[in-house]
Chain A
Amino acid sequence: MKKKLPMYLTTGILTFLALTWVFPVFVVLINSFKNKLYINAEPFKLPNADSFVGMENYAEAIDHYELLKALVITVFITVVSVAVILICTSMCAWFITRVKNKVTKAIYILCVFSMVVPFQMVMFTLSKIANILHLTTPWGIVIIYLGFGAGLAVFMFCGFVKSIPLEIEEAAMIDGCTPVQTFFKVVLPIMKPTYISVGILETMWIWNDFLLPYLVLDINKYKTLSIAIQYMKGSYGRVDMGAIMAALIIAVIPVIIFYLSCQKYIIKGVAAGAVKG
């Protein structure tokens, strides 16, 4: 009995903390149904007869600020970039771990080095190069993401490849597999947990990234969610708080769905990623 009390106490405290954790998102949610003039004035009040506007803010955000288009662009960039990063960097990592020479060692060191370089260091030149090479589209930015995200991915894949026993691959080769077949039939399935870890980390980064797409993309045509929201605040001379609230919710919902459906993998991925990183 003695031990039970602190347990209840801990659960109580944790419940309270969990509620404060959800509170900010909840406040934004209730404000997304309020008229824009009531939002700054009384953010913590529930909508009432005067201030309730139903889905109007959502309609405004989607119609006027093209939030759905931004959502599609963000999903596109994230999915394609992560897929490309996973395939290309895992192949690269396997190659440079298996083929030991000066060049591959240099590539590995450069990759590790690139992990610590802050984006500000390259932002100006990177955006210029992207522009010169016409990589300012959602397709083009995939190449930039592959390049700038390669460091972490290669590093993590290398860490895993080192732990794969060589015998398995040798056996496959003796059975007549080409290196390409060996990679896709033998190595890739073994690396599945690492694919998930790297995939999760890169997804979190690219989905939420603001500055890189802001500087690289032709933002007249393509805005990601983060850019669209930043633009709502600073643009067109008007700040529509209602539409911003709706936009914040539109940006958060896919994240929550993604999180709840792949929670197990995300938490494992983060834990694994950190231990390696």
Chain B
Amino acid sequence: MSKNIKKYWPLFVLPTFLAFIIGFILPFLIGIYLSFCEFTTVTDATFVGLTNYVKAFQDTIFQHSFWYTAAFALVSLIIINVVAFLFALALTQKLKGTNIFRTIFFMPNLIGGIVLGYIWQLIFSGILSQYSMAINLDSRLGFIGLVILVCWQQIGYMMIIYIAGLQSIPEDMMEAADIDGASSLQKLFKITIPMMMPSITICTFLSITNGFKLFDQNLALTAGEPGKMSEMMALNIFNTFYGRAGYEGVGQAKAVIFFVIVVGIGLIQLYFTNRKEVEQ
């Protein structure tokens, strides 16, 4: 059968593959090459070796954005997953209106980052003005603001995944535990959480990569103010690229560093998921 299909490759594979070359492979390879070059457009690059990387690593704002991003990813990861898990637990009980709650909690997920940023900017400035403060005056406020925004956006998404996980736990397991006289807490820690580990792994890594890649919300909510102190990595790279002439190479080098970090997280994820699957 395989031979029979093979002849049809121009129809089946070619469109996607060509687009994939244009949309991913070429930009990726040229991107790596350009990170070693000085250039203003793709066509006028001159090779400069590691200079761009040296400049990128020496950039204190870039370092700051790394720690800011890492802290953000970690904090939002914890809050999002704990709250989403609690929501999922509550919504799998036999309550009235679970569907409505689920609908409402999930909704912000479909709203785009730019729109979200401006919606919350209005809310935060309304609240903070009563205390003579503003979101872009203090990077700590910006941090809290971004965490709230991202929680609001992503809790619903993770909740759906957790609900799916909870519903796949066999009923008889719970019943058996009831017969053995296990308390609710015991059931949670001894049965539910271990059974939910695949969902938990997925959700934690989804939220940590989302946290690292955050851009639209950052741009719309604080735009890095005050003085780039709330600038996350993705925005820092964008600003390096498009902010001033002559720094395109450094921007591309930062992008490569960023890519390595995100891939590193992805590899850790792969490692954990594989290990979990083996255990089961």
Contact = CB atoms under 8 A, between A and B. Distances in A.
Contacts, number: 276
B22 A133 contact: yes
Nearest to B203: A274
Interface in A223-253: 225-226, 229-230, 233, 244-245, 248, 251-252
Given A118-B259, A121-B258, A150-B19, A21 B105 contact: yes
Contacts of A14: 87, 90-91, 95, 101
B105 A27 contact: no
Interface in A67-81: none
A7 B107 contact: no
Given A7-B93, A43-B125, A122 B28 contact: yes
Nearest to A132: B42
B5 A121 contact: no
Contact of B100 (A18, A40, A110, A117): A18
Interface string A130-171: 101101000000011111111100100000000000100110
Contact of B13 (A96, A124, A204): A96
Interface stretch (B48-56, B138-146, B159-167, B171-179): B159-167
Contacts of B219: 210, 230
A149 B266 CA distance: 18
Contacts of B160: 267, 270-271, 274
A211 B23 contact: no
A17 B237 CA distance: 36
A107 B19 CA distance: 13
B8 A179 contact: yes
Contacts of A92: 12-13, 15-17
Contact of B27 (A129, A151, A183, A248): A129
B252 A204 contact: no
Contacts of B107: 21, 256, 259
A147 B4 contact: no
Interface in B174-205: 198-199, 202-203
B122 interface: yes
B26 interface: yes
Interface string A246-277: 00100110011011100100110011001101
B122 A126 contact: no
A248 B118 contact: yes
B44 to A, nearest CB: 11
Given A18-B100, A122-B28, A143-B22, A226 B114 contact: yes
A22 to B, nearest CB: 6
Contact residues on A (Cβ < 8 Å of other chain), bracket: 35 or more
A245 B123 CA distance: 12
Contact of A99 (B5, B87, B255): B5
B79 interface: no
Contact of A170 (B1, B6, B97, B209): B1
Contacts of B19: 88, 143-144, 146-147, 150
A207 interface: yes
A226 B219 CA distance: 12
B248 interface: yes
B23 A150 contact: yes
A18 B27 contact: no
A11 B97 CA distance: 9
A44 B126 contact: yes
A117 B27 CA distance: 11
Interface in B15-67: 15-17, 19-28, 30-31, 34, 41-42
15 contacts: A24-B120, A94-B12, A98-B1, A110-B25, A114-B28, A118-B213, A128-B41, A143-B22, A147-B21, A209-B112, A225-B112, A230-B219, A260-B103, A271-B164, A274-B160
Interface of B: 1-2, 4-6, 8-9, 11-13, 15-17, 19-28, 30-31, 34, 41-42, 87, 90-91, 93, 95-97, 100-115, 118-120, 122-123, 125-126, 152, 157, 160-161, 163-164, 198-199, 202-203, 206, 209, 212-213, 215-216, 219-220, 234, 237-238, 241, 248, 251-252, 255-256, 258-259, 262-263, 266
